[in-house]
Amino acid sequence: AAVTLWLTGSPPGEATAELTHAEQLFSTSGDAAGKVLAATGLARAHWRAGRTAHALACVLPLRDEGVQVLSGSQRGVLLNTIAGCYSALEQSDQAFAYMYQALRDARPRRAHGYDAFLHCNLAHELLQLGDFHEALRHVDQGLERCEKLKNPRLLGVLLVNRIICLTELDRAAEALPDIRRVHALPTGPQG
């Protein structure tokens, strides 16, 4: 339940208590992978609450153990959290290194769609740097994977990123169907 709260984008405070409890349970039971994932979730909650330096200080020491005990998309979750912290601190070189490593570990057959989130994050970072062609490539790869996930929030973010890319590339007319799709998406409790 804690990981579900964390991955679905719940407000940081909502998942923190449950993730803290989960981390303690995993630690007590000797489940190293569970402990690393719960601690990663806590770091992500700090990052989303604007405490980025603290989040990085919490998650970076987990890297070596996490690389050893986590597999595939689980390792991608850890690496992407580190990447997100670096991105928020405007250290794009570090962010890209971790994002690409996370994407390499989250192959489509094993990742259960997590690779779509990674393509979305890479596109966002590329948008910040003004590389709209490469960002559009990652958006389109993310959209291709997202169609199977039935995740309206992720779909909305990818579509907005696609609209930005097309507009910046002087192809705004191509974005009109995407704008209609965004308008048609259901809203959640946060809008």
Query: Which residues, including other chains, have CB under 8 Å from residue 126's CB and lie 6 or more apart?
Result: 132, 134, 135, 138
* Phi-psi region at 112: left, alpha or beta (left = phi > 0; alpha = psi -120 to 50): left
Express as a percent the part of the chain with pLDDT over 70.
Answer: 87
Residue 9: pLDDT band with limits 50, 70, 90: low
- Banded model confidence at residue 54, pLDDT cuts 50, 70, 90: very high
Please give the average per-residue pLDDT across 1-17, as a whole number: 55
Q: Is the pLDDT of residue 6 over 60?
A: no
How much is the pTM? 0.75
Percent of the chain with pLDDT over 90: 43
Higher pLDDT residue, 175 or 115?
175
Choice among 50-54, 99-103, 171-175 with the minimum mean pLDDT = 99-103
The 10s digit of each residue's pLDDT in 108-166 is 555 567 788 889 989 988 998 899 999 999 999 999 888 777 788 889 999 999 999 99
Torsion angle in degrees (nearest 10) through CA of 181, 125, 55, 143: 30
Give the three-class secondary structure for 70: coil
What is the average pLDDT value for the chain, to the nearest integer?
Answer: 85
Q: How many angstroms separate the CA atoms of 91 and 23, rounded?
A: 29
Q: What pLDDT, on the 0 to 100 scale, is given for residue 7?
A: 47
Mean pLDDT of all residues in 46-67: 91
